[in-house]
Amino acid sequence: MKTAILTLATLALLSATAFAETKPKVPASEESQIFKAAGFTKAKKAWKADCGTGEITAYKDLNGDGLKDAIISDYSTMCYGNTGAGYYIVAQQRNGQWQTILKEAGMPDFLKTKGKDGWPDIENGGPGFCFEVLRWNGQEYKVHRYEYQGKACTLN
């Protein structure tokens, strides 16, 4: 059982880091605001939340509004079960403040299809063969459809 959990956690870590190009360069002042907006607290040299240590795995404009957005990833089978990973999407607002717009268990795969305000649809991956695709409706990400490898599917 421990081997299976370790294997799943390793796969989750590898999959979650696959969507990050390279470790993004985030200004220290922005890094602090991003983590605080997501509910993390500074502990020595790391940012911690209820599930463990977080890391910013993407720092770029995700929706084409000219403002930076960030993805924080953290990993824990205790919090996220077999998926072993979770993520937060934190968006910079026009007033310069940061706001968490999504917190999910899973591994995000940003699709070419878009919701309101140019936000990309997100296939929320993990173990299995049919994943929810989340779409931004202007106020929150909600389940829009289910897909596997770009094809519609249904949960059993």
H-type helices in the chain, by residue range?
2-18, 28-37, 77-80
CA 59 to CA 23: how far, in whole Å?
9
What are the tens digits of pLDDT across the range 43-80? 988 999 988 899 999 999 999 999 999 999 999 888 88
Instruction: Indicate whether this model's pTM tops 0.85.
Output: no
Task: For the chain, list the strands marked E by DSSP.
Answer: 41-43, 46-49, 52-60, 69-75, 85-92, 98-105, 107-114, 120-125, 131-136, 141-148, 151-152
